[in-house]
Structure 1
């Protein structure tokens, strides 16, 4: 399955691939060169297809869990000051996505969307310390009955040129459903209450809708 955000790009890539295959076959007569060019064009198409893949990962959504919103590597787990919405300290968990990761953003938890804001900005590399404050980004806050308000932030990377965010204030976020998409290299930060017990470690591989970030213990 492919994500709907890639429909136009995939269609355009297929058309370009067919045209290039025809031109290479007709006008390149050196056998080894023709083979190499055909393989390069095919590889480029496969790269586009893998980037927009959207594997279906069904879950039994629960109110007391926070799942990884994206695929990637856990690069930050630390206490930080969050100045945009909470204006106090939060526990931040950052997941970095390389271009080969699935780039679908999924709702990490159930709850009401109470804040959703887009910010234009720079395109620093996604792991840069200032990326969460200066890069193009969206900030979304979901109010969960157990955890309270939890923020996630989609952050564009050096190659990302468009962030897609589906969350609107007043929506009900259903854990596991598509929440957006970031095109070409990026990261997502989760801002959790300080009392949250984080269940992942630095450098862990996170899988969206699969990896348990936190579980509420009453």
Structure 2
């Protein structure tokens, strides 16, 4: 339905919308202007509901593959020399759901600037959420569990514009630059 990180924003916008609609009903006497103005005040509420939606979809699970964590476009594939991993950057569009799903099943071993999921065949896959020029968003660790299943929702991408996946160098990438991927439905890497 809606992601839990959006409940406060949805409640705030809903309260402001109701107050504005009631005030418009009291102070604008012309029926046509009143209805048009009230409908205009519903637009921010509908936009907020659209932004925080969490669609239910069938998730493809297979322990030998890593699935796409978010809907979007593969915008870059590079080698990260400091971590000795392949870095795949997925840029979601404005209209996709922002829920991030676990690409593999495993144990979350570290959470600071991203999520590190450790799984023995894949070693570790790291998801980083940059939020500006070379600054990474610190994550709220209270919502995360120690063990995650493949395809399980693990985070919500609020205002960051992309997700960076760091996978082992020996991974066989199935995606190419510019490919459109769907969260939980497209395989991006195998061993």
Tell me the TM-score normalised to structure 1 length. 0.75
1:23-82 alpha-carbon deviations (Å, 9 max, x no partner): 222223455544443232211111100111111224353211111111222211111224
1:146 deviates by 1.7
Please provide the CA RMSD for this pair: 2.5
Matched, 1:199 2:185: no
1:13 corresponds in structure 2 to 13
The SS at the match of 1:213 is: strand
Aligned equivalents of 1:161 and 1:108: distance in 2?
20
- Which of 145, 149, 154 lines up with 2:129 in the alignment? 154
| Structure 2 portions without partners, runs of 5+ | none
Aligned equivalents of 1:172 and 1:17: distance in 2?
40
2:28 corresponds in structure 1 to 28
Question: How many residues are treated as equivalent by the alignment?
Answer: 188
2:99 corresponds in structure 1 to 104
Taking a change above 3 Å as real, the CA distance of residues 51 and 163 of structure 1, as seen in their structure-2 partners, is farther
Aligned 8 A contact 2:117 2:125 in 1: yes
2:70 corresponds in structure 1 to 70
- Which of 168, 172, 185 lines up with 2:147 in the alignment? 172
Aligned equivalents of 2:150 and 2:159: distance in 1?
24
Tell me the TM-score normalised to structure 2 length. 0.85
Task: Give runs of aligned pairs for residues 87-126 of structure 1, distance below 5 A.
Answer: 89-117=84-112
